[in-house]
Amino acid sequence: MIAENERLRQDLALEVAKSREAMRQDPERPPRAGGQRARARPEDTNSDSNSLTTELNKKGRSETPSYSEKSLHTRNKRRRSSSDEEDQHDPFVRRIARATLSKKFKAPSFTFYDGKSDPTDHIRHYKQAMTLHADNEALMCRIFPNSLGPLAVRWYYKLELASIKSFYQLQKSFRARFITNEVQPKQADSLWAMQIQSGETLRAYSARYWKCFNLVDDACNDSMAITTFKMGLHPDSPLRSSLTRRPPKTVWALMKKIEEYCKVEDDALRIKAGQMSNKTAPLKLLNQ
């Protein structure tokens, strides 16, 4: 009996020691009946988990941009990048691109190059307009794009970066791009081949002749111009007879005589057209 009581006393002392050790490790936790720790209820755990999930979802929606917002931001960024690249496009080397231009410079008025006319003629017109600044190569290069029309501007923006080192190189590249529009010079033999066509008026033949005459590179004196123009007329032409009887001494005198005969021809054509109109008028009345 005494031994059994002693064993119970030892078990009780051991239980008290365990309880005190637990209290020392977590003093704020109230003691649990029977020395067992209370377990969390399942519904409490689920409630906390649901609240945390809801809070995270709200925070995610407020801080994370939508797909459409991301797409719009990306498109705007690409558009700005493309625009910046075009604005920064400079085909000239650093020496020309970074040259300081005078604030007093005022660009003259240019005839825009349309991409259809002779590029050499355009360069000549540009140089003439920039005569006072011909020695300033950087200025000649950087102002040249101001004289270009839409088609030629597209060519300019396709030039490689830092590929143009001089105004001469810029001219060469420009002419190479529009070389198909260059008007080829004619030889003096072209004037001898000029002939008035059947049904062609004197005024039309004169315009065609002088257009060819202006394209001849070879030296063409007044005597040659008078002779070649006369040889292109019909043998029975009144003007040819006049040029044979009293040949003019200069091209100016030739052009003056041509204009006199053109007026006579124009008057004859008007009379003929009026007569044809009078003949057809009665026929129109009968058909009504």
Evaluate whether residue 118 is within a structural domain: yes
Last residue of a domain, one of 154, 181, 208: 181
Of 138, 141, 150, 258, give the one whose Cα is nearest residue 210. Answer: 258
Last residue of a domain, one of 150, 181, 212: 181
Same domain? 144 vs 220: no
CB 185 within 8 A of CB 211: no
- In the 3-class helix/strand/coil scheme, how is the chain assigned residue by residue? CHHHHHHHHHHHHHHHHHHHHHHHHCCCCCCCHHHCCCCCCHHHHHHHHHHHHHHHHHHHHHHCCCHHHHHHHHHHHHHHHHHHHHHCCCCECHHHHCCCCCCCCCCCCCCCECCCCCHHHHHHHHHHHCHHHCCCHHHHHHHHHHHECHHHHHHHHCCCCCCECCHHHHHHHHHHHCHHHCCCCECCHHHHCCCCCCCCCHHHHHHHHHHHHHCECCCCCHHHHHHHHHHCCCCCCHHHHHHHHCCCCCHHHHHHHHHHHHHHHHHHHHHHHHHHHHHHHHHHHHHC
Query: Please, what is the Cα angle at 204 between 232 and 245, to 5 degrees?
Result: 40
Evaluate whether residue 124 is within a structural domain: yes
From CA 223, how far away is CA 226, in angstroms rounded? 5
Evaluate whether residue 173 is within a structural domain: yes
Q: What is the maximal distance between C-alpha atoms in the chain?
A: 174
Residue 18: the pLDDT is 73
Residue 33: the pLDDT is 46
From CA 3, how far away is CA 1, in angstroms rounded? 5
pLDDT tens by residue, 254-279: 999 999 999 999 999 898 888 777 66
Same domain? 160 vs 232: no
pLDDT tens by residue, 37-71: 444 454 444 444 455 445 545 544 444 444 455 55
Residue 28: the pLDDT is 52
Question: Where in the sequence is the domain holding 266, given as residue range(s)?
Answer: 188-274
pLDDT tens by residue, 167-212: 999 999 999 999 999 887 788 888 999 999 999 999 999 999 999 9
Residue that wins the pLDDT comparison between 33 and 262: 262
From CA 143, how far away is CA 86, in angstroms rounded? 17
Same domain? 154 vs 195: no
- For the chain, the distance separating the N- and C-terminal CA atoms, rounded to the nearest angstrom, is 154
Same domain? 98 vs 174: yes
Tokens 């100016």 belong to which residue? 252
Residue 2: the pLDDT is 59
Same domain? 169 vs 120: yes
From CA 201, how far away is CA 205, in angstroms rounded? 6
Evaluate whether residue 116 is within a structural domain: yes
pLDDT tens by residue, 110-162: 999 999 999 999 999 999 999 999 999 999 999 999 999 999 999 999 999 99
Evaluate whether residue 57 is within a structural domain: no
pLDDT tens by residue, 75-118: 555 555 444 444 457 899 999 999 998 888 998 999 999 999 99
Residue 84: the pLDDT is 47
**Statement: the pTM of the whole predicted model exceeds 0.75:** no
Residue 38: the pLDDT is 46
Residue that wins the pLDDT comparison between 74 and 246: 246
From CA 37, how far away is CA 31, in angstroms rounded? 8
**Structural domains of the chain, count:** 2
Last residue of a domain, one of 181, 213, 231: 181
Residue 117: the pLDDT is 93
Of 161, 158, 162, 187, give the one whose Cα is nearest residue 174. Answer: 158
Evaluate whether residue 279 is within a structural domain: no
Evaluate whether residue 287 is within a structural domain: no
Residue 92: the pLDDT is 95
**Main-chain phi, psi angles of 37, to 5 degrees:** -80, 140
pLDDT tens by residue, 210-246: 999 988 877 778 999 999 999 999 999 999 999 999 9
Tokens 């231009």 belong to which residue? 101
Evaluate whether residue 162 is within a structural domain: yes
210: CATH: 1.10.1200
Same domain? 192 vs 269: yes
From CA 147, how far away is CA 110, in angstroms rounded? 5
CB 19 within 8 A of CB 31: yes
